[in-house]
Amino acid sequence: MAQGKALKKSEIRAALSELNELCKAEYGIELEQLLIDKTPIAAMRMQRLTGIVLKQRFATPGPPPNYSVTTARRAWPWKDGSPEESAAGAQRELELLNQLRMPGPWNERKPLSGTSDDKIPITWDEFKDDVEHERGLFKVVALYVADKVKGRDGKTLREYVDAKESRRFEAGLDLAVLLSDVAVMGPIASLLGLPTLAVGLVLVGIQYGYRKLTDPSEDRLADSTS
């Protein structure tokens, strides 16, 4: 993969603003407050916010479940029918969801088989069942990114995330400047084509580590049951 066109600081700031508004709506706190939180729940919350960014055009926000491990203020159940019916103004999001339905290392239900079946996606109902909560959707996106980045430009996603220059965010730092200097920002933004989703994904990687991004079993339980 080519390095990819880096996001402008203005694009990163717009993405951070969107994540901040979503963070306040879901948890009643600013994004910066979430990112400097040292408790395990913070990583779960950030993963969930990133999943919502991709899912929100195809879901309907509603009251929270009786129990939420992240203390979310809302739930985001999928809309009835297929996402194609809700895709007006969200074509790139739909394209990405369709990629995630294809066989591959990111697809628990249907890994690559080396046959013609590799060109057939799982159904929307199967996909929704597999990623029915936002942290589950985040995890599939992260595994997809890890596979696509791997070997395309001489670095794996782990090497990017673990690089010495990839420092964590701390109070008082300019988050937009920090993200603009992260080497993996460009490749991931180019791959996903959705700046806010890319920024959320990179934040999880640099703030909480490679395992939070790619371990299939890490933080993947439903928000209402974990």
Expressed in angstroms, the distance from the first to the final Cα of the chain is 36
Q: pLDDT by residue (tens digit) across 40-81?
A: 899 999 999 999 999 999 999 999 888 888 999 999 999 999
Q: pLDDT by residue (tens digit) across 1-36?
A: 334 567 999 999 999 999 999 999 999 999 999 999
Q: Is the pLDDT of residue 100 over 50?
A: yes
Q: Is the pLDDT of residue 39 over 50?
A: yes
3-state secondary structure of 30: coil
Give the Cα-Cα-Cα angle 198, 199, 204 (nearest 5 degrees): 100
Residue 59 near residue 77, CB atoms below 8 Å? yes
Q: The pTM is what?
A: 0.91
Q: Please, what's the b/e burial string for 167-183 (b: 16 or more CB within 10 A of its CB; e: otherwise)?
A: eebeeeeebbebbbebb
CA R_g for the chain? 17
Residue 192 near residue 10, CB atoms below 8 Å? no
How many angstroms separate the CA atoms of 46 and 200, rounded? 7
- pLDDT of res. 4: 54
CB pairs under 8 A, 24+ apart, for 72-78? 72/26, 72/27, 72/48, 72/223, 73/25, 73/26, 73/27, 73/28, 74/25, 74/26, 75/223, 75/224, 76/52, 76/134, 78/128, 78/132
- pLDDT of res. 214: 81
- pLDDT of res. 71: 93
